[in-house]
Amino acid sequence: MNRFAFFAATVLLSSGRAYSQDYVLPLGLALQAAQAAVNSCESRGYHIGAAVVDINGETRVLIRSDGSTVHTKDTAFRKAYTVVTLGPVFKFSKSSEAAAAFNGKPSEPSFLTIPNIALLPGAVAIKANGSIVAALGVGGAPGGDKDEACASDGVRAIADKLPK
């Protein structure tokens, strides 16, 4: 196993457990953020899936707007999973930052072999007390930048309800 694959596997195996989690995102806030992302995209004419994934890599909420395609749930989850599992280690808060950090780099093929990693724009970290506690991923808009804008709107919708 090359050193990048070993490092990536180590990160993912420990990422959910290596960070103390003093705050668990309540289900109501997770649902509110996902719904706000769907509403944001629908107002732009996009039919999307939205997923909130907690710091342990577990799905808290997964919803799809009417008319979205079946794969939007998978891309939304994978983008959010990428942020919660790699973001705390590599210090990024958006999946577009992960895409920029890894795309075209020698380590990219190793990261792409890790289940559920998607080096694509479309997810934003949800932070409490300065730490990532979850991420909201969106899939289905015509471009990851549009997905990420809707995810940002979803996170903004709950930001004032999170501990600073």
The continuous run of DSSP H or E covering 26 comes out as none
- Name residue, tokens 């342990």: 56
User: Is the C-alpha dihedral spanning 27, 28, 33, 38 positive or negative?
Assistant: positive
CB 76 within 8 A of CB 103: no
Determine the pLDDT at residue 104: 86
The pTM for the full model equals 0.87
Question: Which tokens belong to 139?
Answer: 């899939």
* C-alpha distance from residue 91 to each of 49, 84, 139, 159 (Å): 25, 10, 22, 19
Q: Please choose, from the candidates 85, 94, 88, 103, the residue with its C-alpha nearest in 3D space to the C-alpha of residue 137.
A: 94
Determine the pLDDT at residue 22: 84
Determine the pLDDT at residue 112: 84
Task: For 58-80, write each residue's pLDDT tens digit.
Answer: 999 999 999 999 999 999 999 99
Amino acid letter at 66? D
Going residue by residue through the chain (164 aa), what tens digit of pLDDT does each one get? 444 444 444 444 444 444 546 899 999 999 999 999 999 999 999 999 999 999 999 999 999 999 999 999 999 999 999 999 999 999 999 999 999 998 888 888 888 889 999 999 999 999 999 999 999 999 999 999 999 999 999 999 999 999 99
Percent residues over pLDDT 70 in the chain: 87
Determine the pLDDT at residue 86: 95
Determine the pLDDT at residue 19: 52
Cα-only R_g, the chain: 15
The domains located in the chain, with CATH, are 3-161 (3.30.450.150)
Determine the pLDDT at residue 17: 42
> Beta 49-54 vs 131-139: how paired, if at all?
antiparallel
- Sheet order of strands, 123-128 included: 59-64, 49-54, 131-139, 123-128
